[in-house]
Amino acid sequence: MDAGESCGGNGVLTLVAYAGRMVYDPGALNASLAAAVGTDGDLMAELRAAFLESAERQADLLARARCDANWTIAASRLKSVAASFGVTGLMDLAEEALTGAPSDPVILRRIQAALTDFRGNAA
């Protein structure tokens, strides 16, 4: 696969190979928002910011969870936020957190990487 070539193509959230690593394509979030608000750029930016704020808050709570119950609650809420905006890749990561071991540093890094990619493409 060439750098920048899409892998997935389901129109919801795709992974893109870039410089030898997989990154989350924020195009799916943009497409979901555009379908909801049309061409209102200000409203789209506001909703995108709300998504990122909510997702980052849940990811932070997930990282700080010190018991299985708090881990499960934060992962469930992160999955719900992602589902609300049609971000299936982040939903899948939250599901991995739910079904995996609480406080798994690998899944925490993957979730943070996904959010960093979204933040970096916010403009």
The answer as to whether 100 is a domain residue is yes
26: domain range? 6-120
The answer as to whether 116 is a domain residue is yes
- Per-residue pLDDT, 18: 34
pLDDT in tens, 24-36: 445 666 676 677 7
Q: How far apart are CA 102 and CA 114, in angstroms?
A: 19
Which amino acid, 11?
Answer: G
Selected residue with higher pLDDT from 9 and 113: 113
| Three-state DSSP class for residue 23 | strand
| Three-state DSSP class for residue 18 | strand
Q: Which two tokens stand for residue 58?
A: 């849940």
The answer as to whether 1 is a domain residue is no
**Looking at the 3D structure of the chain, how many domains does it have?**
1
Task: Go through the chain and tell me how many residues it has.
Answer: 123
Please give the backbone phi and psi of residue 65, each rounded to the nearest 5 degrees, phi first. Answer: -60, 130
pTM of the model: 0.70
Which pLDDT band holds residue 111 (cuts at 50, 70, 90)? very high
The answer as to whether 90 is a domain residue is yes
The answer as to whether 47 is a domain residue is yes
Q: Which two tokens stand for residue 100?
A: 């995996």
The answer as to whether 98 is a domain residue is yes
